[in-house]
Each structure stands twice: as structure tokens, then as C-alpha cells.
Amino acid sequence: MVNQHNLLKIISYNIHSGKNFWLVPTFRSLIRFLADQDADMITIQEINENNKRGHQFTALQNALKLTGRFAPHVPIGNGNYGLATFSRFPILSTSHLLLPSQKEQRGLLDTVIQVNERKVHILNTHLGLSYVERIQQLQRITEYIQALTSPFLMMGDFNTPSLSLDRFGCFDAALMMKKGHLPTMPFSKQRIDYIFHSANIRVIDYDVFKINLSDHYPISVQVQII
């Protein structure tokens, strides 16, 4: 039986600006899906907060009744586009690290939360499309996480079907649950979205939701801070 102390349910989702694989608007359905999951933490990639494409960050924060942090990367329509993290737990601090990038600016959003007596880093990222770009970005990210002294979870769209960060103390939640074969994109056998965790976090469950509300599937994990 799982001890309920220090448990977290987390979802990571590249929402493709609230459009599905066929570019049909799905944002209202996305909100309903995320609200139904009742997650403690939600990390979002490709979210808008601008006049041109909509104030999606504000809409999600209001609908989910969670505290949010937005990390802008790309200026669009009198606003921005980037990453967002939402939390049921108190947020102690937030850091936004801009990564080496080519065509589109990429970043890492570090949201530090308080889980009972523990401090936990929730790292949300979206890497670039080119191999060389991702290598540079991962080098910067691994330098960052190796300096952390508290438990962490790192997740997002890494844009590669082959990624191992074990040597940096980042363990793959899907592999821990023997679910590394599950794709994270519709009409694809590839897994390019990941949830990694530090050694002082125990994975209890991992899942992929096969819903066509984006060009990615949402992924979720239930963990215990130990």
C-alpha cells in the first residue's frame, strides 16, 4: 500500500496553441480534460498569452484554480508564447532560463514548490528541432540541474525519440514503469515527451492519454517525494 504522504500527480502537455493535429481549435476541450484530471501540477508547452492567439495562460489559470507561472519565449500579437506551470502547492520561487537557440527561442521554467516540509523543483522545458541545437540546450540544462540540492522533476517536449540522462541523475519515469514503448504523438510510434526525476523521488505510476486535442498526447506521473 502506498503511503499518501508527499504524493504528487503531475501532467505535462504540449498543447500546440490549443489546436489538434488537423489544426482544429480544441482549447475548450483541453481545459475540460485538464480540469477533470485534478492534478497537483501541470506543465504546458506551446501556450499563448497574447491578443492574436488568445490569453490561454490566464484562461487556464482561472479555470483550473491553480497558481500559474508563465515563461515567455516568442513575442506574438502584443504578447508572448512559451511555457506555463500550474501548481496546487505553494510556489516559493520561479526561475526562467533562456537556452541556446537557433530559429525559435527555447527555455527552461523552474518552479520551486513546497510539498509539506520538502522543497521540490518542477522543471518545464521545450527543446529545439535540430540535433545540434538540442545538444547545446541539454548541456545547459544538465549544468543547471547538477547544481540543484533539492528533489526535482523535469518534463516537457524534448523533440527527440532517443534520450537518456541517467548519467546526470535524471531518471526516466516511463522506463521505470516499463512504459517507454508508449508513443506521445498521434499517428506516430515515437516518444518525444518525457518526465525525468531525481533519485530521491519514487515513481508510482506513469501514463499517456491518447486523446487528439493537440499534435502531442498529454503524459502523467504520480510520484512520492522520499
Give 75's pLDDT tier (boundaries 50, 70, 90): confident
pTM, rounded to two decimals: 0.95
- pLDDT confidence of residue 118: 94
Q: Is 151 inside any structural domain?
A: yes
Q: Is the pLDDT of residue 181 over 60?
A: yes
Q: Is 3 inside any structural domain?
A: no
The full 3-state SS of the chain, as one line of letters, equals CCCCCCEEEEEEEECHHHECCCCCECHHHHHHHHHHHCCCEEEEEEEEEECCCEEHHHHHHHHHCCEEEEEEEEECCCCEEEEEEEECCCEEEEEEEEECCCCCCEEEEEEEEEECCEEEEEEEEECCCCHHHHHHHHHHHHHHHHCCCCCEEEEEECCCCCCCCHHHCCEEHHHHCCCCCCCCCCCCCCCCEEEEECCCEEEEEEEECCCCCCCCCCEEEEEEEC
Q: Is 2 inside any structural domain?
A: no
Give the lowest-confidence range in 5-9, 59-63, 146-150, 207-211: 5-9
Give 2's pLDDT tier (boundaries 50, 70, 90): low
Share of the chain above pLDDT 90, in %: 89
Residue 69: give the domain boundaries. 8-225
As for how many domains the chain has, the answer is 1
Q: Is 68 inside any structural domain?
A: yes
Question: What integer best gives the mean pLDDT of the chain?
Answer: 95
Q: Is 1 inside any structural domain?
A: no
Q: For 84-102, what is each residue's pLDDT tens digit?
A: 999 999 999 999 999 999 9
Q: Which three cell numbers stand for residue 16?
A: 500546440
In CATH, what number is assigned to the domain containing residue 133?
3.60.10.10
Q: For 21-44, what is each residue's pLDDT tens digit?
A: 999 999 999 999 999 999 999 999
